Amino acid sequence: MDVKIKTALISVSDKTGVVEFAQALAQLGVKIISTGGTAKTLAQAGLDVIAIDSITGFPEMMNGRVKTLHPKIHGALLALRDNPDHIRAMETHDIDPIDLVCVNLYPFEQTVANPNCTLAEAIENIDIGGPSMIRSASKNHKFVTVVTDPSQYEKVTEQLLANNGAVAQDLRSDLARIAFGLTASYDAAISAYLNVKAGVEFPERITLSLQQEATLRYGENPHQSGAFYKRPNAIETSVSSGELLEGGTAISFNNLLDTNAAFELVKEFDEPAVVVVKHLNPCGCAIDDDIRMAYRKAYEGDVVSAFGGIIALNRKVDVELAHTIMESYSRYGKALGASGFFAEVIIAPEFDAEAIEIIRTLKSWGSRVRLVQTGPMNRAKLDVNEFDVRCIIGGMLLQKRDLVGWEPDQLTFPTKAKATPEQLADLKVAWLAAKHTKSNTIVLVKNKKVIGVGAGQMNRIESGLLAFKQAGEETKGSAMASDAFFPFPDNVENAAKHGIKAIVQPGGSKKDAEVIAVADAAGIAMVFTGKRHFKH
């Protein structure tokens, strides 16, 4: 059923495009009711506007807190036009129907995103009348059109012009569906803010508010559909806040997972750092004073696994770095046994325009690679209140994020041999890489470059053997990290056989004394962090 729009109520905080939308309605003969600042904006544009208080018979009061909460407004929105009792009630109480509501809400999330926002300011930016009108209009979308975002103006206007001033049922239903999602998201944002203010770590109810950014070609596998959602107004520099630069193939579900894994590890370092990730685990990670050398070291850590991987950098990609990345195979990889090289994604704080051109044109695969530009990294803006969410069938597990990094002041040194400054630098890289690698994890590092990774094995011995095998002769004199304590001395015994000179691990095992004794016998310097980094 089409519903002709005769009367519209417009009350918006975001006034983008509202004048043009109202002008289109006016040209179709629609009577316009409006409130406060919106009415002023429309009147200044030369539109005839009926003030809300002339409809309700009450002035806007209490600093605008009360203006639309009135039976003449909600009766006009909720009345069923095919119900005789409703029609009689409207006639008895002199209520004229409203056919279209154009409302967007007080900018609560934008307000609380300001670090200087006070609780009082936040409370004042909780919209009451707006969500009430949206819900009333949405409930009665059989007769009422609800418009909640400037992006909808064009579609509604086009239909009105093409349909003799009427809106079709399918569009009204779709707009109502979107509107209920908006009010749910709005309440979720308020609840989340108040929980943080109250110091409630895990509230009685959790509603996650996310906004669709893109539909994806498919999920993890082609038979699974997938989509990408973002948290509105997230404050932290991340893959989600990054800008996907033009060109390249559309980014995929797996690309996003791997890119997030790579970027979260590279964010751990203040020094110039590069991470290469394959299937959620780092196959390369290195730091250096020179970002180009850091890239080379990260790539050389595992040139075979780097094929088709994700490259994350914490420095700008300039012309020289672009050349280094694009020529990885011919410069370094071929001599080390790689059969070729390309990257699925390159993510960095910034790309020079000329560097983008080099990436896109120097090699054939460059036209397909996705380039994600995040802007400056700022560890002061880590979102400590964001949950790490894992889904299980029928539910979710929530935990606080693991934001523990390298804590020099918390380290203890239980062995006779003490780690040298050079070994501590390698242990730092190993420990942070292990934090971002699937458990059970053993990571080997030499000269601030990951040389071996054992990830995701059912026992830690196998993880160690994989890491030793990958590193080969380079294990001699290297540093080793374990994401959790050693329950037995076996991994340390294997480390000694392969020439490991320093180990970092949480400590805390019942057999710590035996583990330390084996390390002492081999002259290995061991460092305890006091914290583990399981990653399931």
The catalytic site residues sit at 139, 279
Cα(488)–Cα(504) distance, integer angstroms: 15
Distance CA 164, CA 81 (A): 20
312 in Cβ contact with 259 (< 8 Å): yes
- Distance, in Å, from the CA atom of 381 to the CA atom of 360, rounded to the nearest integer, reads 32
Paired with 370 in beta bridges are 345
Distances (CA, A) of 259 to 239, 340, 348: 7, 21, 11
Nearest to 159 by CA among 28, 330, 346, 352: 28
Q: Which of 310, 321, 314 is nearest to 359 (CA)?
A: 321
Q: Beta strand 370-373 with 343-348: parallel, antiparallel or unpaired?
A: parallel
Placement of tokens 């209520």 in the chain: 95
Largest Cα–Cα separation, the chain: 96
Q: What's the CA gap between 457 and 464, in Å, rounded? A: 9
Gap between the Cα atoms of 223 and 71, Å rounded:
51
Q: How far is C-alpha 252 from the geometric centre of its chain's CA atoms? A: 15
